[in-house]
Every structure is written in C-alpha cells, then in structure tokens.
Structure 1
C-alpha cells in the first residue's frame, strides 16, 4: 500500500517538476552547473571502469575460444557487441545510480530537513521544478556522451588487453569490431541511456524531496533512492530490450 502511494506521489511530483519554468535564464545557469556535477565529475570513474571491463570481456572471450573453428576476430566482435548493447549503457548507468543518485537524494533531502525547500515555496518559487528540472535536463543530455566515451574506452581496453597478450592480432581484432556492425545498436544504447538518466534523477530526487526527520533520515532517503533507481533501471532495461530489439 505504501509503495502504491509512493508511485502516486512520484507522478504528482513529476507533473510539478515539468511545469514551465518562470525564468529560463536562471535554469540555464543551473543546467550548466549540473553538467559539471553529473557529467564531468563522473568521467574519471566511468573511464577506469570502462577500460578494465573492456579488457576483462576481451580476455574472457579469448580464454573461452577452445574451438579452432571460431575465427580470432570473434574476440573483437563480442567485445564490441557486449560493450555497446549492455555494458556501457546499463552497467555504467547502474554505477552512476549509486554515485549521482545518492548525491542528488542527499542534497535535496538536506535542503528539505533544513527547511530551505519550505523557504522557496513561501517565496512563491516552484521548488520541485527549480531543484529537479535542471538535474533532469543535464542528466538526459550529458549521459549519452558519457556512454559514448565509455564505449570507446572499453573497446580500446579490450584491444590492448588481447593484442599485448598475443591472443589476437591488430588486424583480427579491428576486423571483429567492424564485422556485422549495425548502427541501430548505437541508437538502442543511447535511447536506453536517456531513459536511465531520467530514472536516476527523478527517483533519487523523489526520495530526497519527501525526506522527513533529520540527518539520519537523509541517509535513509539516499539509500532508498539508489536502491529503487537501480531496481527501476533493471526493469526498464528488460522492457526496452523487448520493445526495441525483439
């Protein structure tokens, strides 16, 4: 029953968030700040994860190719397909749900318990739109670039892992990357990423916005935001895969 009430409150909050902003100039400045907070500050962890995960995918593929009938370019093909279809859009989004989502929930939750949100409402400002909409716009627009960055680094990590280990030649790996390539897979990955970005911000902001109590409750809201955004991403991933790929 409580979860059903939360779903209703979530959509009411979304309606409030997506109302037309009063002053676009203020919102554009806030979006620019959120690009830095959500996007640029996440490049380090995204880069490290992408390089090593791409290397692991390539090495595991190479180690499991026992049949001599399988050509070596399969290593590059599987590394590329795994990275574009699942690893970069989904796994990186799950990691960002923890990093970005917890930050959003704790930031808005702290403003709620310190009555800063109440002060905005008293001044006649749409607090939900002012606090959440710039984060939504920034996340939906910057995360696809982060995922493209992740794809490139992951494939590069796989390339260096297998070529330096003499498990695959440069020509074979590059041929595998280019073999049977479908541009629609990139579109699929970016559509998923934008949906996941919306989920991360909206779910985390929801739990932060409705925080009640003190500092301890801010921590609980942050945890709930991460948990539920992660679960929602997994469900959305299944639904989007069914709708787009099948």
Structure 2
C-alpha cells in the first residue's frame, strides 16, 4: 500500500496550494456578496483593470488579426479558398484565439499587479492595520478586485476581438481590395450564437481565476520584499496555467452540448 512518504513533496505542495485556493475562493463567495458593499472601491478597480489594460489588449488584438491573416492568406490562395478568409478568421478569433490571448495578457498584467499590490500591503502590515481599524480587508481588497476582474475581462475580450477583426480586414483590404462592408458581412454570416455565447461565458471564469489567484498570492505573501516579487511571479504562472485548464473544460463542455 502506498504511504504518504512515497508521494513526491512537490505534488504534496501542489495539492496543498490547490486546497488553499479553493478555501480562499469559497471565502469570497461566502463573504464577498454580503453587505456592506464597497461600491467606490469596486468602481475604482474596474477603471484600473479595464481602462488601464485597454491599450495593451487592443494593440495585442490588432497585431493578432494582422499576423493571423498574413500567415493564413497564402495557404488559402494556394487552394483557391481565399473567399473563406473572413469567416475562418472571424470564427478562430471569436471562439478561441481572442479570449485565450486576452486572458493570458491580463494574467500577466492584472495578476502580477494585484499580487504585488496586496503583497506589499501584507508585508508592510497595512492589512493588519485595516483589521484593527474595524475595516474588513477581505471585502475591501479581495472581493472588489475579484469582482472587477470577472466583470472587465469579457469586455476586454470583446474589444480585442473587434480590433483583431479590424486588423484582419485591413490586410484583406490592402492585399485583396476587399471592402469593409463585404468583409464583415461574411464574418457575421458564419458566426452563430453557438460560437459567441460559450466564448463569452468562459471569459467570466477566466477573469475570476485571474482575480482570485492574484489576490490569494498577495494576501498571503511572506518574507518581506522577496515575498512580494515571488507573489507577483507565481500569480502570473498559476493564473496562466488555470486559464488553460478552464479553457479545456469549457471547450469540453461546449463540445458535449453541441452533440446533444
């Protein structure tokens, strides 16, 4: 019979951290939706997360549309299927590439920012001071950031998809003299709700994962300034990994739903 001593220590640490994050998420659902609500802090976090990330997300989306079209166009021309370019790029961006790339970009920018901010507050004992003063630091610091990230990520994905499709049209207009109206008419002709809705819904889970991991790593940061850097770094790595896991589960569920 296998004993606990035979289990690798790294796997034990992984299971331990997974359980700790699950308890942290449960605490968010148990505490975060009870009054009083920190509306001003929530709106401030929405501005910081959404507005401050828009330029990076839009630039990434625009380049993504340009590169995808430039790389795919020669192959479609070779097979005489150039007319399929708008529909193919539209489906690829909306269903998978747009949400995934945007989520990974946000995991790097937002996850590290939240982890570093809360980590610095933890090591300088600002969180302890909030508890002494009678403020609930979990509601003020964690709940507002997780809710803001969950809400803003789908909006950022919609913006990234729009800019990416515009970049794709720009290539088609320069290379093939395709009008704006014709390009987007073909894009929306082959996009269905079964493509848009699952991609949109899973973005909420992406945002929740990024927010909860960043807050967890920062809220329980240790070892002074070294711990702050470690919290920011591990928040990005773990959030990115969980984004892939959530995406796999979402695609699997959507595939089962399509078969029914």
Bin the TM-score by the shorter chain.
Answer: over 0.9
Identify the residue that residue 231 of structure 1 maps to in structure 2. 241
| Cα distance change on mapping 1:126 and 1:7 into 2, 3 Å | farther
Match of 1:138 in 2: 148
* Corresponding residue number in structure 2 for 1:169: 178
- Distance apart, 1:151 and its partner CA: 1.1
Residue in 2 that maps onto 1:115? 125
User: How far off its partner does 1:68 sit?
Assistant: 4.4
Using the TM superposition, name which of 176-185 and 190-199 deviates more.
176-185
Q: Which runs of 5+ in 2 are unaligned?
A: 1-11
Contact 2:58/2:160, CA 8 A, preserved across alignment: yes
Match of 2:42 among 18, 23, 31: 31
Partner residue in 2 for 1:64: 75
State the Cα distance separating 1:17 from its structure 2 match: 2.6
The aligned residue for residue 167 of structure 2 is 157
DSSP-derived class of the 1:129 partner: helix
Structure 2 equivalent of residue 42 of structure 1: 53
Would the alpha carbon gap of residues 81 and 181 (structure 1) be closer, same or farther in structure 2, given more than 3 Å must change? same
Contact 1:111 1:117 in 2 (8 A): yes
Does structure 2 conserve the Cα–Cα contact (< 8 Å) formed by 1:76 and 1:172? no
**Counterparts in 2 of 1:130 and 1:174: CA distance versus 1, 3 Å:** closer
TM-score (norm 2): 0.87
Q: 1:14 to 1:124 in 2, by over 3 A?
A: farther
Q: Distance in 1 between matches of 2:62 and 2:19?
A: 41
Q: CA RMSD in A?
A: 1.7
Q: How does 1:182-197 map to 2 (within 5 A)?
A: 182-197=192-207
Which of 209, 213, 221 is equivalent to 2:231?
Answer: 221
Q: Distance in 2 between matches of 1:229 and 1:94?
A: 8
**Whole-angstrom distance in 2 between the partners of 1:178 and 1:7:** 41
How many residues of Structure 1 are paired with residues of Structure 2 in the alignment?
242
Decide which of 9, 19, 28 is 2:20's aligned counterpart. Answer: 9
Q: Which moved more, 1:215-224 or 1:60-69?
A: 60-69
Q: In structure 2, how many angstroms separate the alpha carbons of the residues matched to 1:236 and 1:88?
A: 15
Quickly say closer, same or farther: Cα 1:16–1:121, change in 2 above 3 A: farther
- Cα distance in 1 between the residues matched to 2:106 and 2:138: 22
Aligned-pair CA distance for 1:217: 1.3
